[in-house]
Structure 1
Amino acid sequence: MSDKMALIPFKQLLHWVMDENKQSGMVFGIPEEKYFRKANDRNMKLFGEAIDTPVGPAAGPHSQLAQNIIASYMSGSRFFELKSVQIMDELEIAKPCISAEDECYNTEWSTELPIMGAFEEYVKAWFLLYVIQKEFFAQSERRFMFNMSVGYDLKGIQSPKVDEFIEGLKDASQTKIFQECQAVLREEMGLFQHVDQAFVDQISPNICNSITLSTMHGCPPAEIEAIIRYLISEKKLHTFVKMNPTLLGYDYVRKTFDKMGYDYIDLKEASFTHDLQFSDGVGMLKRLKVFASEHKKNFGVKLSNTLPVKITRNELPGEEMYMSGRSLYPLTINLAYKLASEYKGDLKISYSGGADAFNVDRIFATGIRPITVATTLLKPGGYQRFKQLADLLDPLLDNQESSRLDLDKLKALADSSFEDANHIKESRDMLSRKTSLKLPLLDCFIAPCENGCPIEQDVPEYLRLVGEKRYEEAFDVIVSKNPLPFITGTICTHTCMTKCTRLDYDESVHIRGQKLVAAEKGFADYMQKISKVQPKSKARVAVIGAGPAGLSAAYFLAKAGMNVTVFDKREKAGGTVEFVIPDFRISREAIKKDIELIESMGVKFEFGVTPKISVADYKAKGFEYVFLAIGAGRTNALEIQGDTERVKGAIPFLEAFNTDRKGLNLGKKVAVVGGGNSAMDAARAALRVEGVKEVYIVYRRTKDYMPADEEELAYAQKDGVIFKELLTPVSLSGGVLKCQVMELGPADASGRRSPVPCTGVYEDLPVDTVLSAIGELIDYDLLKTNGIEVGEKGKIKVNDETLETNVENVYLGGDALVGPWTVVGAISHGTKVARAILEKEQLEFKQEFASRITFDKEKQLLDVRTKKAVMQPVYDDEQETGRCLECNYLCNICSEVCPNRANLMIPVEGEGLTNRNQILHVDGMCNECGNCETFCPYDDAPYKVKMTLFWSEKEFADSANTGFVILQEAPALIVKLRLKGEVMEVAFDQSGNTNASIDRSLAAFIWTVVQQYPYLYKV
């Protein structure tokens, strides 16, 4: 495939807009629910003209092609900063060229098109916006604005081809493309209800009266000033000049990044020393303000340009890239204040630098306008995010052109930016949202939260049911795969939330909390309907250990009709959850309800059995199968010198705390070594022991790298635990814990920084007791005495699919197999063991819902479409389920994040398809920017893998993609198809059937595209 975009002729663009809207209520994938419809008569004045909203796409990937500009308009953009052009056009840019997983990086300079190719795109978009505003929104007067952008030196800007571009946008009336667009509209009057020839004839040829100068990093001040004087005096254009965040200085930027968690960003100090300096910039702006006033033109600054940084983690090909997005916000807004202060607020500022739905209204309130965005549009939701931005700003419009900035508001915004949670980076943000799955050709919609869950819990289904207050059904969905809903609803490590698509909006849906809501409100009704399962096998199963792994296996085995007995050395079930985790984290009543659910399946329990385990003894008692779910068993010792009798394991301490906390004597000051959830539990529990005054968490990295759940860290801080970061304990003597001071070394490829000792530097902490929370160890001796084979490096030999050991019908799972793990991980092991035993017994493994779960599909579709692209903070349990995007029902992420609209959702009715919605990739619209690959939940790239439509046989031949090109439409459809590397011709009859050896679902997809979406390929 080629990374060169084929420009769509105006006539095809026109039919695409009109036909897609008529057929599906969409325009370039923007659904009608996301059309921005003006709610009032307010507007904003700029350069003497009125525009309906002050937002739009920054010069970049969203303003390069006509369809990009149209998609922006549909959802609320009315100011368009056209992608920059320069004398060096048709650049060869290494691909991918965008990395927007969090803060954004790109390697583009300007438009990838020939200069006059870009010109034609802008003229086509200009005409189509006129048509759209009249035909769809009944608006005759133009209320949008185009702003051209050029770079980088005066000689290039004065060159004939750049000058032709500038003059053409000032007045396009004599250009071939302008006249072509007029002629096409006159020919196609039958498409319209509200557009007539008189309206077409009055479409203005004056496309731009303003320009933004995109200054190259390192461009000399005298050159910048000369260009601006030329643009104002000779080209007679209102002018903004882009200014770079390097104006703030290297030290300021470095300290800001380090403070806000972006310490891994590698800056080039030369970028600051070689760039325009602040004092020079202030002097230049003062002179140019006077010059512009003399020429009766508006002049201001565009803040800010991107920031050049080094490529250190293979984010993109090359050595240097340009940073934007949320990390740029504190720099840009502070630069805005710093510059505005120099002029006492008398400075026009056009803004772009981390603007989004969290701050756009506050930016606008300072008097800054217009506001352009790019990074936020590269995230899921894409162009549709404009709708929320426009809705936020619509009530604030005042029919005025900003004349002076509010310095007090701007200072407050600049000061608050350093503490703004939406712009602070945490190490947890570096976790990939991707799954390990490979992208299928068809039926790719998945909820990544489900795949991120070890038991593949049906998250979107039960969230919708909770939202509809169908609690019993939600509980039914949960317990079909999870027999511990109260426990996991309270203390689950919720790996599902680390994959939630909302993380690319604001923060994950609080999935775990909604599980608990379902459990608390659905448990009683569900339990009333349970009937005892009749035995279906004479075989008996002994489960050794009543923790999460053992309880889960017992539940699923009994549910399928097996005779199961759970044995445990303690006096009741629950394992670590019951005996180690403190009651301030989970109530014993919650644990009791989960045990009640398991008992209702017919599971029997025997407690107080000998801790010495003999598999042979259980088999001798008639148990055909034995599942060892015995936990890790041994505490990992902390290697420390001195008073080792004052060093205790955190797990034994927590057990003692739960049994008799009044009998504990820890002294006044306690240090807990470790950074996981057990360390947080131990620290919080220690604070509750009589006599304890202070508790430290000692960790060799910083708090951001602690593996504990974020909320557990927050609870520990709230309780008063003192965090001592970058310390490694060395010795405990005389009430003093001596610690080696550490520092974080360079980041590795994952972004994780390893601690290294600061040679000779130590810190002493006054400590009476040390609690070691550095993990537990597997009891290998117990396993070996039972004949279970342990290989090199402690790897226990089990069948990965069944967890059966080398001893026939003996299984091992949970902490006993992998060491300290999670509750839900243990459940997954119990599930796997149950499935394996049931398969041997030829019994059905039951994970289906007990009741038939149905939804109103039309309502569901409308709900999902409506909440797409909406940034929404967490409110309360009643509204939380509404934040779920239901990705398994309607994903579309690859189409949402594609700036060029090259990935399309096509509804297909076909045999063998599990989802009505399928993704089609259009080769001619793709420039291989790579953004769809970044956000696709699969470990794959949609632009390389999905079914591709080619516009020509040459495109088809130049690509390796699975896809097709149309060879003939009549009298019968014939396509050339590449499938699994094989090229074939496929003929269809009049009903869409084919004798070719391809799946009917694939044939239905191709037939649907050709028959129902001719605007995708017909000129």
Structure 2
Amino acid sequence: MMSDKMIQIPFPKLVTWMLEEYKKTKTIFGVSEAKFFKKNNSDIQLFGETMETPVGPAAGPHTQLAQNIIASYLSGSRFFELKSVQIMDELEIAKPCILAEDECYNTEWSTELPIMGAFDEYVKAWFALHILQKELFGQSERRFMFNMSVGYDLKGIQSPKVDRFIEGLKDASKTAIFKECQASLLESIDKFKNVDKAYIEQISPNICTSITLSTMHGCPPVEIEAIIKYLISEKKIHTFVKMNPTLLGYEYVRNTFDKMGYNYIQLREESFTHDLQFADGVEMLKRLKVFAKERQKDFGVKLSNTLPVKIGKSELPGEEMYMSGRSLYPLTINLAYKLASEFNGDLKISYSGGADAFNIDRIYEIGIQPITVATTLLKPGGYMRFKQMADILDPLMDNKESAKLDMEKLKALAESAFADANHRKEKQDLISRKTELKLPVLDCFMAPCTVGCPIEQDVPEYLRLVGEKRYEEAFDVIVSKNPFPFITGTICTHNCMTKCTRLDYDESVHIRGQKLVAAEKGYEAYMQKLLTIKPESSGKVAVIGAGPSGLAAAYFLAKGGMEVTVFDKREKAGGTVEFIIPDFRISREAISKDIKLIEKMGVKFEFGIDPDFSIADYKAKGFKYVYVAIGAGKTNTLSIQGDTDRVMGAIPFLEAFNADKDAINLGRNVAVVGGGNSAMDAARAALRVKGVENVYIVYRRTKDYMPADHEELMFAEEDGVVFKELLAPVSLSQGILKCQKMELGQPDASGRRRPVTVEGVFEELPVDTVLSAIGELIDYDVLKRNGIEAGEKGEIIVNPETLETKVDNVYIGGDALVGPWTVVGAAKHGTMAAKAILEKEKLEFKQEYVNDISFAGDKQLIEIADKKAVMKPVADNEMESGRCLECNKVCNICAEVCPNRANLMIPVNVKGFANVNQILHVDGMCNVCGNCGTFCPYSSEPYKVKLTLFWTEKDFMDSPNVGFYFLGEASEGEFMLRWDDKISKVKFDESGNTNESVDEKIAAFIWTVYKDYEYLYKVLN
């Protein structure tokens, strides 16, 4: 079991690290110089102190260690709410302790360091920031401020060690760490260009003039008031008091979560009833305002604390966790309005609760400041997100403290919070962005969009080409793996977009739309140059079914040099896409262009074939291989009583609609039973049938649980479809659909809450026709007649790698194999079968680009770096490529999201490495919070897997990680290595060769660290 104890970096080593890293890479603790914030406009005042910006990290993981505070400062933070301390300072916190996948949860609430260990970190950071502002920005006057945070009861705050902490931050001049830092800087004065002896000696020991009181949930009002009076009168310090979201009451919070999509969050009613009540809180604040004014100290509220919620799915260890982030925003901003209204705007508010680049300017313009953040920094981009927030605030700054809040603006912001898309939980937000791949020790950068795509489209490559208006090349990249650029550019279920890293910023890159841009603008030029491929093999292939799976197989088989004929029962190719999907979703011209691409490969077609096919007949005609792609040809029967002649399958209806919608008679009222994409298509199509006035979607769960794509649900709503949730059809009689009322019970195996009957409660709907969209079925009869076997549970027996059945040289895929699936899923099967057949024929399976596509290397990397940590929602489809983070070239997410900077990006300039950077994990800086594991696109956790640098022998021996530590002074290049579950002593010679047999890449990586990054390992000596 690895240690979760952080090792504090001695101040001289911290300074050396900053200077050496900056000299070598123009970064400091991973923050690149391009993301350093440089002030342009005036400053702002708070408690008589000057700040360049009123934004900074909240008391939490980002102010626990000196390096965290340094990273915050460089990227734009100027107000630092130091992590809370309390009398119990040797806490054993179960790990991992942070889960920030979307809204954030945590189970740690104060510093993990001993109180005076935390004190040392804050003093070291104080000196480091003074050095940085002078050395980097030429500033002599301090323009940042520290705010200490303490808790949780009066007795603890009055204890000698907490009192020593408070007094030390008020005046650190007599403390050992202050003297050590000052002496260390004076000894190393020659390392600086702009820092001199006089500047170091004038650094003030008065670190904090203000404090934020953090009280535990359930702390009695009398206790809170007594603590604040003590801090103001006895400690003589400006004070903020954290107020809890529980002030809003259980019903308000529950209703807010339910209507904003967070209905899965489990609250404890006692968390609200046992906590400070609103009326009591207001009266307390009124008394404290008077008390503080009489003593000439400033007093205000910090809004808001985190919200306690139940741990219901073992998200983190324990029974209760604390919620923050975007879900807290509507609560906190409305609590701000509710409290400020009681004081007519005359209330000083420090804000934290879902603030980010989307709302920080509006919060500040109300007169609220400072504004602190935590959750947004835990996401990709990390500390560098401060740069955008600081840049947004910069032109708004003036040198005045707001006398009163702008209540009109606050009211408007509070009211708009519930509809703000940035803070609502939508269906697509519930999809995990993880892949199933295991994280490798080296060369881990990959594009999760590509991995998430069933046919592994090279998404970042064609997005960049579209952005550079190289449309023909983009089209080339797409069709190397996908014969349906128009179809998938229009109606693909875009699995890629559910894995996009930008979802952790704002919203996915609109990948599908960019594919369509490439198709529309690159098709003609590509087709003009494309030559028909002549067969290279005598083995012929019959593809039965001209839907997506059959067409994909034919495309790649012909491309690989085989003679292919596609047979279909209908009069043209396209299958479900052509005959079932309505033309308001995709034009027939778009489908036709994809078919022409496939024909250009040399694929032949025969139509009007008997659907009751015989594989033996095809083989008798000389076809060596047969690919069965007949789709799922049977409609699932809806069990309903009454007028069953008025019940029609959604698929047959859609086919009739596409053939001639004017020939259909559905009556005035239509109910569609089901919640998938076919149900949405059927409902929208029904609205376009003459005579239809109302269309209902009837579903036994709520809309949140419908399997249809989010956008298809939106389109149906926009068209006027009425959603009837929690209803199960029972009977249709005389134009009335009787439905059983349902309610949601406990989750089933799929994770969806099970619909449970509400006995005796029914709802009746006026309905003339019911369209059943509850799924299609595999036609087992026709398969069985051809010797294709199914298992006990109905699964078709195939080789999972090749899709070959037990009938020699007969393959099956798409809906015929797995039931109703997606276009791109069906294409995956066609691709797999084609590859297997080509390998049998010893022919090349071709997925390479026709063109030799290249990008400007260094320029590309600079452009990617510029896009990091910048919130940028979709604005213009033409510019979408500019939002792609190109994770295949530069990922570094685990380094960006680590609060403690324990994951480092190390360039290893040796041949054989696929990635620009390699990730080094530094054990001594890691507290096992788990955040890197949350955002790594792999299924593994970087802090457990990546090559690890240890600072001590004990930590090396206690950890199972692949890793190393240098022996002694490391001057002779000797180190201990754990690799392949073996521990060995290894030594480098002057050229980087080793005396032991060590993996060549691992040796090169460690040699790079040894030779070029001495400051990383010479930390404790």
Please report the TM-score for the alignment, with normalisation by the length of structure 2. Answer: 0.99
CA contact (8 A) 1:445 1:887 kept: yes
1:36 to 2:12 alignment: no
Alignment match, 1:868? 868
Distance 1:656 1:703 in 2: 27
In the superposition, relative to structure 1, how do residues 214 and 31 fare at CA in structure 2: closer, same or farther (>3 Å)?
A: same
Distance 2:754 2:384 in 1: 40
Superposition deviation, residue 611 in structure 1: 1.4
After superposition, the C-alpha distances for 1:519-548 in whole angstroms (9 at most, x for unaligned) are: 001111111111222321110000011111
Q: What is the Cα-based RMSD across aligned positions, in Å?
A: 1.1
After superposition, the C-alpha distances for 1:354-389 in whole angstroms (9 at most, x for unaligned) are: 111111111111111000000111111111111111
Alignment match, 1:827? 827
Distance 1:750 1:658 in 2: 34
1:457 to 2:487 alignment: no
Amino acid at match of 1:37: K
Alignment match, 2:1006? 1006
CA contact (8 A) 1:105 1:324 kept: yes
Alignment match, 2:775? 775
Distance 1:4 1:74 in 2: 26
CA contact (8 A) 2:304 2:352 kept: yes
CA contact (8 A) 1:67 1:125 kept: yes
Amino acid at match of 1:927: N
> SS of the counterpart of 1:671?
strand
Alignment match, 1:466? 466
Mapping for residues 152-231 of structure 1, pairs under 5 Å: 152-231=152-231
CA contact (8 A) 2:330 2:417 kept: yes
Distance 2:241 2:751 in 1: 35
Mapping for residues 120-135 of structure 1, pairs under 5 Å: 120-135=120-135
Amino acid at match of 2:4: D
Deviates more, 1:553-562 or 1:911-920: 911-920
After superposition, the C-alpha distances for 1:50-89 in whole angstroms (9 at most, x for unaligned) are: 1000000000000000000000001100000000000000
Distance 1:917 1:177 in 2: 36
In the superposition, relative to structure 1, how do residues 567 and 417 fare at CA in structure 2: closer, same or farther (>3 Å)?
A: same
> SS of the counterpart of 2:911?
coil
> SS of the counterpart of 1:327?
helix
After superposition, the C-alpha distances for 1:897-943 in whole angstroms (9 at most, x for unaligned) are: 11000011111122321112110000000000011111111111100
1:567 to 2:567 alignment: yes
Distance 1:109 1:790 in 2: 55
Superposition deviation, residue 999 in structure 1: 2.0
1:977 to 2:977 alignment: yes
Amino acid at match of 1:24: T
Distance 1:375 1:1000 in 2: 39
Alignment match, 2:4? 3
In the superposition, relative to structure 1, how do residues 749 and 996 fare at CA in structure 2: closer, same or farther (>3 Å)?
A: farther
Distance 2:334 2:745 in 1: 30
In the superposition, relative to structure 1, how do residues 318 and 634 fare at CA in structure 2: closer, same or farther (>3 Å)?
A: same
Amino acid at match of 1:53: T
Superposition deviation, residue 426 in structure 1: 2.3
Superposition deviation, residue 1015 in structure 1: 1.1
1:1018 to 2:986 alignment: no
Alignment match, 1:13? 14
Alignment match, 2:299? 299
Amino acid at match of 1:840: K
1:991 to 2:966 alignment: no
Amino acid at match of 1:233: S
Mapping for residues 111-126 of structure 1, pairs under 5 Å: 111-126=111-126
Alignment match, 2:420? 420
Amino acid at match of 1:7: Q
Distance 2:141 2:750 in 1: 52
Amino acid at match of 1:876: D
CA contact (8 A) 1:71 1:383 kept: yes
Alignment match, 1:253? 253
Distance 2:752 2:264 in 1: 9
After superposition, the C-alpha distances for 1:687-740 in whole angstroms (9 at most, x for unaligned) are: 111111111111111112211112211111111111111111111011001111
1:337 to 2:326 alignment: no
Alignment match, 2:886? 886
Mapping for residues 626-775 of structure 1, pairs under 5 Å: 626-747=626-747, 752-775=752-775
Mapping for residues 282-431 of structure 1, pairs under 5 Å: 282-431=282-431
In the superposition, relative to structure 1, how do residues 750 and 463 fare at CA in structure 2: closer, same or farther (>3 Å)?
A: same
Distance 1:190 1:624 in 2: 80
Alignment match, 1:23? 24
Amino acid at match of 1:846: K
1:53 to 2:89 alignment: no
> SS of the counterpart of 2:208?
coil
Superposition deviation, residue 993 in structure 1: 1.7
Amino acid at match of 2:654: L
> SS of the counterpart of 2:163?
helix
Alignment match, 1:939? 939
Superposition deviation, residue 252 in structure 1: 1.2
Distance 1:750 1:125 in 2: 49
Distance 1:293 1:690 in 2: 73
CA contact (8 A) 2:667 2:769 kept: yes
Distance 1:1013 1:524 in 2: 53
Amino acid at match of 1:407: M
Alignment match, 1:804? 804
Distance 1:159 1:864 in 2: 51
> SS of the counterpart of 1:209?
strand
Alignment match, 2:921? 921
Aligned residues: 1018
1:603 to 2:592 alignment: no
Amino acid at match of 2:287: R
Structure 1 residue runs of 5 or longer lacking an equivalent are none
Superposition deviation, residue 751 in structure 1: 5.7
CA contact (8 A) 1:540 1:623 kept: yes
After superposition, the C-alpha distances for 1:550-575 in whole angstroms (9 at most, x for unaligned) are: 11111111111101111111111100
Deviates more, 1:270-279 or 1:140-149: 270-279
Deviates more, 1:815-824 or 1:245-254: 245-254
Distance 2:1016 2:52 in 1: 31
> SS of the counterpart of 1:179?
helix
Please report the TM-score for the alignment, with normalisation by the length of structure 1. Answer: 0.99
CA contact (8 A) 1:313 1:749 kept: no
Superposition deviation, residue 969 in structure 1: 6.1
Amino acid at match of 2:521: K
> SS of the counterpart of 1:109?
coil
CA contact (8 A) 1:911 1:1001 kept: no
Alignment match, 1:548? 548
Mapping for residues 57-72 of structure 1, pairs under 5 Å: 57-72=57-72
Amino acid at match of 1:373: V
**After TM superposition, where is structure 1 displaced by more than 6 Å over at least 4 residues in a row?**
none
> SS of the counterpart of 2:267?
coil
> SS of the counterpart of 2:899?
coil
Distance 2:746 2:328 in 1: 22
CA contact (8 A) 1:267 1:308 kept: yes
CA contact (8 A) 1:313 1:750 kept: no
Distance 1:517 1:824 in 2: 18
Alignment match, 2:264? 264
Superposition deviation, residue 748 in structure 1: 6.1
